[in-house]
Structure 1
Amino acid sequence: MNSSSTEHRNDPADAPHPEDDRKPDSPTEVTKPSWKYILRTTVREFSADGCTDLAAGLTYRTVLSIFPALIALVSILSLFGQSESSVTAVLDQAEGIVPADMWQTVRPALESILTAPAPGLGLIIGLLTALWSASSYTKAFGRAMNTIHDVPEGRGAIKLNVQMYLLTALFLILGVIGLLIFVLSGPVAQAVGDAIGLGGVAVTIWNVVKWFVLAAIVVLVVDLLYYATPNVKQPKFRWMSIGALLAIVVAVLASLGFFLYVSNFGNYNATYGALAGVIIMLLWIYIINAILLFGAEVDSEIERGRELQAGMPAEEELQLPARDTKASDKREKKYQEDLERGRNLRESAGRSQEDPHRTGKPDAQR
Structure 2
Amino acid sequence: MIPPARQLVPTRGRTAPPTCPAVGGRRPALRRTFSEFQDDSLTDWAAALTYYGVLSIFPGVLVLISILGLLGESATQGVTDTVNQAVPEDSIRKIITDAIGAADNGGLASVAAIIGLVAAFWSASGYVGAFMRASNTIYDVPEGRPIWKTLPIRLGVTAVIGVLLLASAVIVVFTGRLAESVGDVIGVGSTAVAVWDIAKWPVLLVLVSLMFAILYWASPNARHGGFRWVSPGGVLAVVIWLLISGLFAFYVSNFGSYDKTYGTLAGVIIFLVWLWLSNIAILLGAEFDAELERGRAIAAGHGVDDEPYVELRDDRKLRKKRNQRGSVD
3-state DSSP of counterpart to 2:236:
helix
Deviations 1:134-161 (A, max 9, x none): 1111111111111101112222223322
Residue in 1 that maps onto 2:251: 261
- RMSD of aligned alpha carbons: 3.4
Change (3 A) 1:177 1:269: closer
Deviations 1:18-60 (A, max 9, x none): xxxxxx9xxxx99575235323321221111111111111121
In the alignment, is residue 141 of structure 1 matched against residue 134 of structure 2? no
Deviations 1:163-183 (A, max 9, x none): 212221222212222233342
Instruction: Give the whole-Å Cα distance in 1 for the aligned partners of 2:225 and 2:165.
Output: 26
Letter in 1 for 2:40: D
In the alignment, is residue 329 of structure 1 matched against residue 319 of structure 2? yes
Residue in 2 that maps onto 1:47: 38
Letter in 2 for 1:84: T
Which of 126, 131, 141 does residue 121 from structure 2 map onto?
Answer: 131
Which of 216, 225, 249 does residue 235 from structure 1 map onto?
Answer: 225
Deviations 1:65-84 (A, max 9, x none): 11112223445667776973
Scaled by the length of structure 1, the TM-score of the pair is: 0.73
Instruction: Give the whole-Å Cα distance in 1 for the aligned partners of 2:23 and 2:133.
Output: 31
Instruction: Give the whole-Å Cα distance in 2 for the aligned partners of 1:306 and 1:178.
Output: 34
Residue in 2 that maps onto 1:12: 5
Deviation at 1:297, TM superposition (A): 0.8
Change (3 A) 1:181 1:234: same
Residue in 1 that maps onto 2:83: 91
Deviations 1:257-284 (A, max 9, x none): 1122112221123223333233222211
Query: Larger deviation: 316-325 or 243-252?
Result: 316-325
Instruction: Give the whole-Å Cα distance in 1 for the aligned partners of 2:327 and 2:102.
Output: 53
Residue in 2 that maps onto 1:224: 214
In the alignment, is residue 214 of structure 1 matched against residue 204 of structure 2? yes
Instruction: Give the whole-Å Cα distance in 2 for the aligned partners of 1:214 and 1:240.
Output: 13
Percent identity over the alignment? 39
- Cα pair 2:65 2:99 within 8 Å, conserved: no
Instruction: Give the whole-Å Cα distance in 1 for the aligned partners of 2:318 and 2:63.
Output: 34
Residue in 1 that maps onto 2:12: none
Change (3 A) 1:118 1:219: farther
Residue in 2 that maps onto 1:166: 156
Change (3 A) 1:118 1:227: farther
Residue in 1 that maps onto 2:13: none
Deviation at 1:250, TM superposition (A): 1.4
Letter in 1 for 2:141: V
Instruction: Give the whole-Å Cα distance in 2 for the aligned partners of 1:114 and 1:73.
Output: 12
- Cα pair 1:308 1:315 within 8 Å, conserved: no
Deviation at 1:228, TM superposition (A): 1.3
Instruction: Give the whole-Å Cα distance in 2 for the aligned partners of 1:153 and 1:228.
Output: 13
Change (3 A) 1:65 1:272: same
Residue in 2 that maps onto 1:57: 48
Q: Which structure: larger Rg?
A: 1
Change (3 A) 1:297 1:243: same
Residue in 2 that maps onto 1:279: 269
Which stretches in structure 2 are left out of the alignment for 5+ residues?
10-17
Which stretches in structure 1 are left out of the alignment for 5+ residues?
1-7, 17-23, 341-366
Deviations 1:191-249 (A, max 9, x none): 7785xxxx443333222212211221111111111111222233132386211111112
Q: What pairs with 1:291-306 in structure 2 (closer than 5 Å)?
A: 291-306=281-296
Instruction: Give the whole-Å Cα distance in 2 for the aligned partners of 1:285 and 1:217.
Output: 18
- Cα pair 2:69 2:105 within 8 Å, conserved: no
Query: Larger deviation: 116-125 or 210-219?
Result: 116-125
In the alignment, is residue 252 of structure 1 matched against residue 242 of structure 2? yes
Deviation at 1:108, TM superposition (A): 4.7
Instruction: Give the whole-Å Cα distance in 1 for the aligned partners of 2:294 and 2:229.
Output: 12
Change (3 A) 1:292 1:64: same
- Cα pair 2:70 2:106 within 8 Å, conserved: no
Letter in 1 for 2:290: S
Q: What pairs with 1:187-198 in structure 2 (closer than 5 Å)?
A: none
Which of 277, 280, 286 does residue 290 from structure 1 map onto?
Answer: 280
Change (3 A) 1:228 1:85: farther
Change (3 A) 1:89 1:164: farther
- Cα pair 1:154 1:324 within 8 Å, conserved: yes
Deviations 1:295-328 (A, max 9, x none): 1111110111122223334642254322222223
Instruction: Give the whole-Å Cα distance in 1 for the aligned partners of 2:212 and 2:103.
Output: 25
